Amino acid sequence: MGMDIMKMVEVVGIALGVIGLILTIVVCALPTWIVTTFIADNSANTEVVLYGLWMSCVTQGTGKTQCEVYNYRGYWKYDLQLARAMILTAIILGVLGVMVSMVGAKSTNCIKDKTSQAKLIIIAGILFILAGILILITVSWVAIFIIFGMRIKEKPELGASLYIGWVAASLLLIGGVILCITVGVFGWMMGIFGWVVSLVPSALSILLPFRHYPEPHYGDMWKVLMTTSISSILGALGVMGSIFGTRCCNCIKSNRIRVKARFTVGIFFILAGILQLTTLFLVVHYLRTDLHLQLYPFVLFTQHDLVILAEVCRWSASMLLIGGTILCCCIFKRNQPDSTTTTSTSR
């Protein structure tokens, strides 16, 4: 009965990934990313211009629509190539995720070995999550550009493709997370992704002093560098332990040692998350109490950089703490018989 439920959950994760992939292809094809209306005195001369990744369409007040291939004379021509590359990469990752998930699914029985099935499902979940992240970044980036970046007389609006893109990203992310949960590696995945995100504050704490030469207005940047560096090192130790401690890797045969390794990795992730929270508190305290930011408006660029650093620390700490807590909770589960002991007694 339990195996049937896991198969159903796995099918749900794959189905969400497939639907998300289809919506991503639709988003890539539709020319409805940016909508701009040119209102004239005569309703017949009113035009609605639609911009997409590959073409732009003009709909006149008479109902006539004319589309042409993009000629790089749009509002966001300098972002067009990067948006195309990210969406196409997301589609490729989604297609690979669907193919791998179909092969590794328990319901298809393409592979009999359970360990190989688990590995393929993990790979499919990671591919779905990466595709969802790429789509989320792309559509959010274009939406921010439309809201804050376009300074034209006719106010542009968010197109339907952006909303469909957010739905597609959500489905891919949920499908990938479900696939990782069915294999029992959700805690590992949250910790690993949290560690990857934690590398961004470390890089920012190194680059900000050079960006605001001769010295940043935030004089305690060395504290941020110290906490983020130690957090990255602890996260790296957790990732190394994750490679050897998962059941699908079979690097550790004993269930008891595997549980201990999982608990140790969880401690590393939790400590890394606490250090990320410490960095967050340091930056937030500075932004709220420093008078230099209030007296001199020209340091707003420094403030924006610190806000970005604090927001990244927030997300990193959340993922590290959630992943570490899930891994540490495995110690409270019912003790499973040791695989080596079971094998010896059976003989």
- pLDDT digit of tens for each residue in the chain (347 aa)? 445 677 788 888 889 999 999 999 999 988 888 888 776 656 556 778 888 888 878 877 666 777 777 654 455 555 677 888 889 999 999 999 999 988 888 777 777 777 778 778 888 888 998 899 889 888 888 887 777 655 555 577 888 889 999 999 999 989 988 888 777 677 877 888 888 888 888 887 777 665 555 555 566 677 888 888 899 899 888 888 777 766 555 666 666 777 788 888 889 999 999 999 998 888 887 777 765 555 554 444 456 677 778 878 888 898 899 888 888 886 665 444 444 443 443 33
What is the rounded distance in angstroms from the CA atom of residue 222 to the CA atom of residue 124? 40
Residues 167, 252 within the same domain: no
Residues 5, 73 within the same domain: yes
| Per-residue pLDDT, 251 | 61
Inter-residue contact 252 to 244 (CB < 8 Å): yes
Residue 161 identity (one-letter amino acid): S
Q: Give the residue carrying structure tokens 């909770």.
A: 329
End of a domain among 151, 167, 183? Answer: 183
For 19-42, how does the pLDDT look when each residue is reduced to its tens digit (9 = 90+)?
999 999 999 988 888 888 776 656
Residues 109, 58 within the same domain: yes
Q: What sign for the dihedral angle of Cα 7, 12, 16, 19?
A: positive
Residue 279 has a CB neighbour count (10 Å cut-off) of: 27
End of a domain among 154, 183, 212? Answer: 183
Give me the CATH number covering residue 151.
1.20.140.150
Copy the structure tokens of residue 79: 């972002």
Residues 221, 92 within the same domain: no
Residues 123, 201 within the same domain: no
Residues 259, 343 within the same domain: yes
| Per-residue pLDDT, 300 | 45
Burial (CB < 10 A; 0-12, 13-18, 19+), residue 47, is middle
Copy the structure tokens of residue 333: 């589960």
Copy the structure tokens of residue 7: 């198969």
Residues 203, 148 within the same domain: no
Give me the CATH number covering residue 326.
1.20.140
End of a domain among 145, 163, 183? Answer: 183
**Could you tell me the CA-to-CA distances from 171 to 84, 194, 232, 273, 333 in Å, in that order?**
20, 20, 30, 27, 31
- Split into its structural domains, the chain has a count of 2
| Per-residue pLDDT, 96 | 94
Residues 285, 316 within the same domain: yes
Residues 204, 278 within the same domain: yes
Cis status, amide bond into 214, omega within 30 of 0: yes
Residues 26, 152 within the same domain: yes
Inter-residue contact 325 to 270 (CB < 8 Å): yes
State if pTM tops 0.85.
Answer: no
**Distant-in-sequence, close-in-space partners of 80: CB < 8 Å, separation ≥ 6:** 53, 70, 72, 74
Residues 125, 264 within the same domain: no
List the domain range (segments joined by +) for residue 127: 1-183
Instruction: Give the residue ranges of DSSP H helices in the chain.
Output: 2-29, 77-104, 114-144, 160-183, 186-211, 221-245, 255-289, 291-295, 300-328, 339-346
Residues 19, 52 within the same domain: yes
